[in-house]
Amino acid sequence: MLAPCRNPDPSASGHRTPELASTRARLLAGLGEGLARLPLRQTTGFGSVTLPLPGLAGPAPVLAEPHFVFSHARRGELRAGYGCVGEWQAAGPRRLETLRAQALGLKAHWYQQDPDATGLAGFTLCGFAASPEAQGTLADAPDPFPNALIWMPELALRRLGDRSTLTMTAALPADRQATLARWRGWLDRLLPRLYRPMGLAQAPGRTAIPLLRRAGVPSPGDWALAVDAALEAISEGRLDKVVLSRQVRVQSPRAFDLEHLAEALDRLYPSCQAVRIQRDNVSLVAATPERLLAHQGRRVEVDAIAGTAARAAGGGRDAALRAAMLASPKELHEHALVVEALRSALAPHSRNLEVPDRPRVLCLHNAQHLWTPIRAEIGPDLDLLRLADLLHPTPATQGSPREAAGVWLRQAEPATRGWYTGAAGWLGPDLDGELWVLLRCAQIRGRSALLQAGAGIVAGSDHRSEWRETEAKLSAMLTALQYA
């Protein structure tokens, strides 16, 4: 069901320079031209105009609430959305089927204009929580994020290498003059942030500050008991693997600055997907190495990531940790469970399924993981949402067998995960797109941040080493937050 969206008033203007005024005039002319070609009298659907946007560099600005940003520094990619002209929500076991039905309707009634032939269409956010059940609370606070969501932004930015675009979207039917006036207001707020005049003071970099860390859930003692219970279930044959998670809350002496945080994440973790989703004055931020899937045309790419080793300052010690992980029966077994689950999910729907015989190593700033990239060619009946339903949750985030691990976790974990270990990404007009597993997460409100991380428990796991693994994963976001 289409839900009403709360949008900011985009009428406030900013600094003006000749270059900015020229860019603004060109964009307004293009938007007017595109609007004239859209079927504005249609009684349902959306109309979008996409234009080239020169010089888009650095992190996406924080303009207003709600907004979302996906950026990958190493790939030189960015997608950002501001405001909301429509959203669809769902919950329960059939949540992704429900969203897919809405997306099919969107596909049929999303009218695109690309006057300058950029070839880059508009996009929506698509995301969902770890579990299809009702959200409940996160650390005794209501979770502001719906269980599953498709969100159509009013203003969208995209950067792909050295190409950048701006897309403006209106819900139909729409009045041409009123729509153009509203889009003009967005430009007046956006452009001064993207093209700051020479001599205008730039935001200074922040120095790291200590964060006050509060007691987490579970406690070390409860964690040890949970790991022991998991190992007992594994030894009895009820589970092969289960992923236990932790929550830690930290407090900063200053309000967290999301633009500084984005810069820190891009700098510290350039090979990760940085995610920021803000709704109701709460921001979900992640720096995740794990792509759930990428779908374009008939091609699908899936990442199997499981098995973890620490990093070391010395090259020799770092290489030794990597070699030990590659030779560890425990780590290889944990990884193989994920690979086999993804292979089994894709095989009935694929041809030319490509699964490497041995994993590679994915090296991050604070950890290194076993990684197997899987590729497949799929039939025309599958799209991003159907694929997500097939693949999520993987053994990397819940366990194996999937259903048994889910039931066990609902009884064993003391806190709701929310969107942590769910997925988020972008969905295009043809129901293609990309989704990333939400790992290394923080939910931020003002000066407070709730962090989440987990570890996979298999035969041979030790609660002390698994606790240290979660500490290493928590440190990814803790380090970045010190600069926010």
Arithmetic mean of pLDDT, 93-102: 96
pLDDT in tens, 21-69: 888 999 999 999 999 999 999 999 999 999 999 877 777 888 877 999 9
Task: Report the DSSP pairing between strands 110-113 and 46-52.
Answer: parallel
Burial class (CB in 10 A: 0-12, 13-18, 19+), 327: exposed
The rounded radius of gyration (Å) of the Cα atoms in the chain is 23
pLDDT in tens, 387-417: 999 999 999 999 999 999 999 999 999 888 9
Confidence bin at 17 (pLDDT 50/70/90): low
The answer to whether the CB of 442 falls within 8 A of the CB of 451 is: yes
pLDDT of residue 133: 79
44 — alpha (psi -120 to 50), left (phi > 0) or beta?
beta
Task: Report the DSSP pairing between strands 448-457 and 441-445.
Answer: antiparallel
pLDDT in tens, 424-439: 999 999 999 999 999 9
Arithmetic mean of pLDDT, 288-315: 92
Q: Which of 305, 456, 292 is nearest to 372 (CA)?
A: 305
pLDDT of residue 1: 37
pLDDT in tens, 123-152: 999 999 999 975 544 555 667 799 999 999
Q: Which residue type sits at 180?
A: L
Give the residue numbers marked as catalytic: 241, 290
Arithmetic mean of pLDDT, 103-116: 93
Q: How many CB atoms lie within 10 A of CB 325?
A: 21
The answer to whether the CB of 445 falls within 8 A of the CB of 170 is: no
The answer to whether the CB of 484 falls within 8 A of the CB of 261 is: yes
pLDDT of residue 6: 47
pLDDT of residue 420: 96
Q: Which of 240, 199, 237, 210 is nearest to 394 (CA)?
A: 240
The alpha carbon of 191 is separated from its chain's Cα centroid by a whole number of angstroms, namely 25
State pTM to two decimals. 0.92
Residues 6 or more apart whose CB falls under 8 angstroms from that of 222 comprise 414
The answer to whether the CB of 202 falls within 8 A of the CB of 210 is: no
Set out the domains of the chain in order of their start, with CATH numbers. Answer: 2-194 (no CATH), 212-288+304-418+439-481 (3.60.120.10)
270 three-class SS: coil
Residue 329's φ and ψ, nearest 5 degrees, are -60, -35
pLDDT of residue 12: 44
Arithmetic mean of pLDDT, 297-317: 90
**What count of Cα atoms within 13 Å lies in the side-chain half-sphere of residue 55?**
9
Q: Which of 336, 344, 395 is nearest to 371 (CA)?
A: 336
| Percent of the chain clearing pLDDT 70 (strictly above) | 92
Arithmetic mean of pLDDT, 312-339: 92
15 pLDDT exceeds 60? no
Query: How many Å apart are CA 68 and CA 130, to the nearest integer?
Result: 19
Q: Which residue type sits at 362?
A: L
Prior bond of 218 cis (ω within 30°):
yes
| Percent of the chain clearing pLDDT 90 (strictly above) | 76
In residues, how long is the chain?
484
18 pLDDT exceeds 70? no
Mean of all residue pLDDT scores within the chain: 90
Q: Which of 12-16, 329-333, 465-469 shows the lowest per-residue confidence on average (mean pLDDT)? A: 12-16
175 pLDDT exceeds 50? yes
Arithmetic mean of pLDDT, 9-28: 69
pLDDT in tens, 228-262: 999 999 999 999 999 999 999 999 999 999 888 98
